[in-house]
């Protein structure tokens, strides 16, 4: 089954690349589009009971989550990078929900609480007692 998925992603890649070239579209990542369309198609088949491999769907969805994370981080104001952790955890929870259709109340409460803590830190980041910690949150992924 994996070989068919790899072949499908490759075929989509070449097709989207051709369309992108013909239409002179610049703001599309061909790999991201190919991966996205593949897991969406597989997810639809999964819900129609025509495909049962949640692992490959999860792997491809995880790649899209990572891509969204990096795209947002690259294009967002640097002051907002303090929200990295709640943002990626929210994307993970959303991905989990897409695959399982199971909305876990305790996870939602945790994410809301986490966002509130980070919003508090963001609005009070200039407070001398919080500034060092806020800076560490922003610099968490630098120089490693």
Write out pLDDT tens, residues 23-41: 988 888 999 999 999 999 9
- Positions of the chain with pLDDT lower than 70, given as ranges: 141-144
What was the pLDDT predicted at 56? 97
CA 113 to chain centre: 20
What was the pLDDT predicted at 141? 66
What was the pLDDT predicted at 50? 97
What was the pLDDT predicted at 25? 87
Measuring CA to CA, which residue among 88, 86, 90 is closest to residue 70? 88
Reading the block at residue 117, the tokens are 């803590």
Q: Is the dihedral of CA 78, 80, 81, 82 positive or negative?
A: positive
Question: Which DSSP category does 24 fall into?
Answer: T
What is the chain's mean pLDDT, rounded?
Answer: 91
What was the pLDDT predicted at 80? 87
Reading the block at residue 143, the tokens are 């120089």
């Amino acid at each position: 089954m994996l070989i068919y998925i790899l072949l499908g992603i490759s075929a989509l890649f070449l097709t989207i690349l051709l369309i992108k070239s013909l239409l002179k579209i610049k703001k599309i990542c061909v790999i991201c589009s190919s991966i996205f369309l593949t897991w969406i198609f597989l997810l639809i088949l999964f819900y129609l009971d025509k495909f049962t491999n949640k692992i490959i769907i999860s792997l491809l969805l995880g790649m899209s989550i990572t891509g969204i994370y990096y795209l947002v981080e690259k294009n967002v104001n640097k002051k907002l990078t303090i929200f990295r952790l709640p943002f990626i955890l929210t994307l993970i929870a959303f991905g989990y929900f897409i695959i399982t259709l199971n909305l876990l109340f305790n996870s939602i409460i945790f994410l809301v609480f986490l966002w509130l803590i980070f919003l508090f830190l963001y609005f009070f980041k200039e407070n001398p007692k919080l500034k060092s910690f806020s800076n560490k949150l922003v610099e968490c992924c630098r120089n490693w």
